[in-house]
C-alpha cells in the first residue's frame, strides 16, 4: 500500500516535462498508480464518476475530477454546431452513483435543434431530478441497485441515502446536499417506467392500449408457448397442463384514508397492474352481495377469518385487508389477481 502511494511522480508520464503539479490516485480505477492532473483528466474523459485522492505533499486529501479540470462534453460534435460553437454552456451537476456523490462539470450546446440538458443526461443513462436545468441526477446503476436492495435486503430509501452520503464523507455527512426527497420521487418514477418497459410499452397511458404489467407465470402451462401443440390429446391433460391457483388474504393489512385519495394522488399504474379494475370489482361485489353462500353461517368452526368481530370496519379505513390469487406452484402473482377487502375476508 505504501508503495503505490508514493506521491513523487506520475506513473504514466514520469519522463514528460510538460506535466507537473499535484498527483492523484483514483479510488474507482483498478489501477492504484498515481497520475498527474492532465493524465488523470485524460484517462477519465468517459468516466466522470470516479473518486480521486490528491497528494498535497503531506497526505492524500479528497479531490474530484471536476476540480482537476474535467469537463464532460454532451450533445453534438462541435463540427456540426449550427451556431459555430457560440452557445456552449457549462453546468455543474451533483451526480449520485453507487460510489457516492460527485460534482460533474458538463458542457452542452444550446444551439437551435439540439437537445435539452435533461435529454442529453438520459442518453448517458443518468436520471435528472428535474427536466429544466437539472442540478441533481442519479445514475441508472444506483436506481437498479436500490430496487434490488429494497426487494432482497429490505433496505429503506432513507438508509440507502444515508449510506451513500457516508460513503462520500463519513465525518461530516450532514454538510452534503440533501438527496432523499429527490431520490424517493425518482425511484417511484423509475419503477413505473421499468414496469411499462417490461410490458413492451413505449408510452405510458397510450390511448387504446391496455398494457399488462403483471407478467404471466413462467412455470404454468401456456398453449403455444411452453407445452406441446397436441397437449389436448394427452389423457391426463387435465392433470398435467393445469394451473393451480392459491388464494389467500390478509385481513389485518388495512389502509387508512389519507389525504384526498385517488382524486388528489392518482395511481401511476391504474388498472394496468396487479389490482383488479375497480369498476369490475365493484360490479362483482354488487352481484355477489346477496348470494346464499355469502350470507350463510360460517360452517368452518374455529376459522377466525370470517369472524365479524375480528375485522376492522372503521370508516377511517380505505380497505380492511387484501386478497391475492397466486400460482400455487411458483408463487407468481396474477395480473389483476389482487383486490382490496371492505369487510373482513368475505
Q: Interface with Zn ion by CB under 5 A: which residues?
A: 10, 12-13, 19, 26, 28-29, 36, 39, 50, 81, 109, 111, 217, 219-220, 327, 329-330
Residue closer to Zn ion, measured from CB, 68 or 276:
68
DSSP 196-259: HHHTT-SSTT-TT-----SPPPSSS--TTTTS-TTGGGSTTHHHHS---EEEEEETT--EE--T
CB contact set of 177 (below 8 Å; sequence gap of 6+)? 94, 101, 136
Distance in Å, CB of 334 to Zn ion, minimum: 9
C-beta closer to Zn ion: residue 74 or 129: 74
Residue 218 or residue 343: which is nearer to Zn ion going by CB? 218
Q: In the complex, what is the shortest distance from the CB of residue 194 to Zn ion, in angstroms, rounded to a whole number?
A: 22
Nearer to Zn ion, 73 or 319 (CB): 73
| C-alpha cell, 266 | 392518482
Q: How far is the CB of 137 from Zn ion (least distance, A)?
A: 19
Question: Please, which residues have CB within 8 angstroms of residue 199's CB and are 6 or more apart in sequence?
Answer: 211, 212, 213, 215, 272
Nearest approach, Cβ of 37 to Zn ion (angstroms)?
8
d(C-alpha 335, C-alpha 164), whole Å:
35
Rounded to the nearest whole angstrom, what is the least distance from the CB of residue 180 to Zn ion in the complex? 27
* Backbone φ, ψ for residue 51 (5° rounding): -100, 140
Q: Give the three-state DSSP class for 71.
A: strand
Label residue 66 left, alpha or beta by phi (over 0 means left) and psi (-120 to 50 means alpha). alpha
Q: Distance between CA 319 and CA 340 in Å, rounded?
A: 6
Q: Which is nearer to Zn ion, 28 or 169 (CB)?
A: 28
Question: Least distance from C-beta 284 to Zn ion, angstroms?
Answer: 23
Minimum distance from CB of 328 to Zn ion (Å)?
A: 8
CB of 88 to Zn ion, least distance (A): 7
Spatial contact of 281 and 339, defined as CB atoms under 8 Å apart: yes
C-alpha 83, offset from chain centre: 38
Looking at beta carbons only, is 173 or 221 nearer to Zn ion?
A: 221
Q: Would you say 29 or 157 has its CB closer to Zn ion? A: 29
C-beta of 125 vs 267, nearer to Zn ion: 125
Q: How far apart are CA 187 and CA 150, in angstroms?
A: 11
Amino acid at each position: 500500500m505504501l508503495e503505490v502511494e508514493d506521491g513523487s511522480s506520475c506513473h504514466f508520464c514520469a519522463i514528460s516535462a510538460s506535466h507537473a503539479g499535484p498527483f492523484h490516485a483514483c479510488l474507482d480505477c483498478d489501477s492504484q498508480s498515481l497520475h498527474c492532473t492532465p493524465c488523470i483528466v485524460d484517462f477519465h474523459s468517459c468516466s466522470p464518476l470516479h473518486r480521486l485522492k490528491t497528494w498535497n505533499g503531506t497526505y492524500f486529501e479528497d479531490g474530484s475530477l471536476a476540480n482537476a479540470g474535467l469537463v464532460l462534453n454532451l450533445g453534438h460534435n462541435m463540427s456540426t454546431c449550427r451556431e459555430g460553437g457560440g452557445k456552449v454552456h457549462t453546468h455543474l451537476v451533483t451526480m449520485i452513483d453507487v460510489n457516492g456523490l460527485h460534482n460533474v462539470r458538463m458542457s452542452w450546446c444550446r444551439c437551435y435543434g439540439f437537445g435539452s440538458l435533461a435529454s442529453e443526461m438520459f442518453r448517458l443513462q443518468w436520471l435528472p431530478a428535474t427536466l429544466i436545468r437539472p442540478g441533481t441526477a442519479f445514475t441508472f446503476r444506483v436506481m437498479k441497485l436500490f430496487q434490488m436492495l429494497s426487494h432482497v435486503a429490505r433496505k429503506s430509501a432513507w438508509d440507502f441515502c444515508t449510506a451513500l452520503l457516508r460513503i462520500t464523507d463519513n465525518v461530516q455527512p450532514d454538510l452534503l446536499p440533501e438527496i432523499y426527497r429527490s431520490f424517493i420521487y425518482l425511484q417511484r418514477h423509475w419503477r413505473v417506467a421499468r414496469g411499462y418497459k417490461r410490458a413492451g410499452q413505449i408510452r405510458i397511458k397510450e390511448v387504446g392500449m391496455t398494457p399488462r404489467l403483471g407478467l404471466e407465470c413462467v412455470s404454468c402451462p401456456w398453449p403455444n408457448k411452453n407445452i406441446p401443440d397436441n397437449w389436448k390429446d394427452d389423457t391426463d391433460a387435465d392433470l398435467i397442463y393445469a394451473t393451480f391457483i392459491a388464494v389467500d388474504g390478509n385481513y389485518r393489512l388495512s389502509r387508512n384514508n389519507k389525504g384526498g385519495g385517488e382524486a388528489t394522488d392518482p395511481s401511476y399504474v391504474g388498472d394496468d397492474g396487479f389490482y383488479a379494475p375497480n369498476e369490475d370489482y365493484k360490479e362483482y361485489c354488487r352481484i355477489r352481495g346477496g348470494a346464499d353462500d355469502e350470507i350463510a353461517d360460517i360452517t368452518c368452526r374455529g376459522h377466525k377469518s370470517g369472524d365479524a368481530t375480528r375485522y376492522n370496519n372503521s370508516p377511517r379505513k380505505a380497505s380492511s385487508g387484501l386478497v391475492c390469487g397466486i400460482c400455487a406452484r411458483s408463487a407468481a402473482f396474477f395480473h389483476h389477481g389482487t383486490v382490496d377487502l371492505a369487510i373482513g375476508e368475505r
